[in-house]
Amino acid sequence: MTVFQVQAGTIDSCVNLLKDNHIVSIAPGGIREALFSYNYEILWHKRTGFARVALQSGAVSLKAYL
């Protein structure tokens, strides 16, 4: 975890890292999924932060999907 700098991140911190050309890996569901998903099924529970990061950073455009 140290080598890959694994950390809990906010939407803003992830957006800033992407804008600074860093690679960001996001686990939708975060800690809740890690603790309660026994068969590693993603527990979405209305989690949308990863999509906000993608849109706010400019990594994707919503226009491409409309």
* 40: in domain: yes
Tally of structural domains, the chain: 1
Segments forming the whole domain that contains residue 29: 11-65
Report pLDDT for 44: 66
pLDDT in tens, 15-40: 999 999 988 887 766 666 666 666 66
Q: Which amino acid is at 49?
A: G
Predicted TM-score (pTM) of this structure:
0.66
Other C-beta atoms within 10 Å of 53: how many?
22
Residue linked to tokens 């686990």: 27
Instruction: Report CA 16 to chain centroid distance, whole Å.
Output: 12
Core vs surface per residue 10-22: b (16+ CB within 10 A) or e = ebeebbebbeeee
* 22: in domain: yes
Instruction: Give the separation between CA 26 and CA 11, rounded to whole angstroms.
Output: 10
